Structure 1
Amino acid sequence: MLMYHSVGDPADDPYGITVARDRLDRQLAWLRRRGLTGVDVGTLLRAGAQGRAARLVGLTFDDGYADFLHEALPVLRRHAFTATVFVLPGRCGGANGWDPLGPRKRLLTEDEIRAVAHAGMEIGSHGLYHRRLPGLPAAVLRRETLHSRELIREITGTAPDSFCYPYGEVGPEAIDAVRAAGYTYGFAISPGPLLGPYALPRTHISHADRGLRLWAKRLRHGFPLPGAAR
Structure 2
Amino acid sequence: MLLYHGVGERAGADDPFRLFVPPSRLRRQLSMLLAHGWTPLRLDQYLRGDTPPRSVLVTFDDGYRGMFREGLPVLRELGVPATVFLLPGLLGATSRWMKEMSGEPLVDEEEVQDMARAGLDLGCHGWDHTCLAGADADTLARNTTRAARALADITGRRPRAFAYPWGAHDARARRAVAEAGFDVAFSTHGAAGRYAIPRVDINALDTVVSFRLKCLPGFPVMRRVSGRVPGLRPALNRLTGRVARG
TM-score normalised per structure 1: 0.90
Contact 1:189 1:202 in 2 (8 A): yes
3-state DSSP of counterpart to 1:130? coil
> How high is the sequence identity, in percent, across the aligned residues?
38
What corresponds to 1:221 in structure 2? 219
3-state DSSP of counterpart to 1:123? strand
What corresponds to 2:8 in structure 1? 8
Contact 1:44 1:56 in 2 (8 A): no
Instruction: Give the structure with the larger helix fraction.
Output: 2
Distance 1:23 1:128, change over 3 A: same
Name the aligned partner's letter for residue 30 of structure 2.
L
Contact 2:87 2:127 in 1 (8 A): yes
Q: How many residues align?
A: 217
Contact 2:63 2:106 in 1 (8 A): yes
What corresponds to 2:230 in structure 1? none
What corresponds to 1:228 in structure 2? none
What corresponds to 1:157 in structure 2? 156
Name the aligned partner's letter for residue 77 of structure 1.
R
Name the aligned partner's letter for residue 34 of structure 2.
R
Q: Map Cα deviations across residues 76-105 of structure 1 (whole Å, 9 max, x no partner).
A: 011100100100000110000001113611
Give the Å deviation of 1:56: 1.9
What corresponds to 1:118 in structure 2? 117
What corresponds to 1:54 in structure 2? 53
Q: Map Cα deviations across residues 167-221 of structure 1 (whole Å, 9 max, x no partner).
A: 00010000000000000000001124x2x11000000001222321122112343
Q: Which deviates more from structure 2 when the two are superposed, residues 106-115 or residues 34-43?
A: 34-43
Q: Which runs of 5+ in 1 are unaligned?
A: 223-230
Q: Map Cα deviations across residues 127-146 of structure 1 (whole Å, 9 max, x no partner).
A: 10000001111122111100
Q: 1:25 aligns with which of 24, 27, 31?
A: 27
Q: Which deviates more from structure 2 when the two are superposed, residues 37-46 or residues 110-119?
A: 37-46
What corresponds to 2:45 in structure 1? 43
Name the aligned partner's letter for residue 9 of structure 1.
E
Distance 1:169 1:21, change over 3 A: same
3-state DSSP of counterpart to 2:100? coil
Name the aligned partner's letter for residue 58 of structure 2.
L
Q: Map Cα deviations across residues 22-80 of structure 1 (whole Å, 9 max, x no partner).
A: 1101111111110113234443232xx24x43232101100011112210000001110
* Distance across 1 between alignment mates of 2:62 and 2:21: 14
Superposition RMSD on alpha carbons, in Å? 1.4
What corresponds to 2:197 in structure 1? 200
Contact 2:39 2:52 in 1 (8 A): no
* Distance across 1 between alignment mates of 2:196 and 2:44: 14
3-state DSSP of counterpart to 2:185? strand
3-state DSSP of counterpart to 1:114? helix
TM-score normalised per structure 2: 0.84
Contact 2:95 2:101 in 1 (8 A): no
Q: Which of these two proteins has the greater Rg computed from alpha carbons? A: 2
Contact 2:84 2:121 in 1 (8 A): yes
Distance 1:143 1:103, change over 3 A: closer
Contact 1:13 1:103 in 2 (8 A): no
* Distance across 1 between alignment mates of 2:146 and 2:21: 31
* Distance across 1 between alignment mates of 2:54 and 2:153: 34
3-state DSSP of counterpart to 1:101? helix
3-state DSSP of counterpart to 2:57? strand
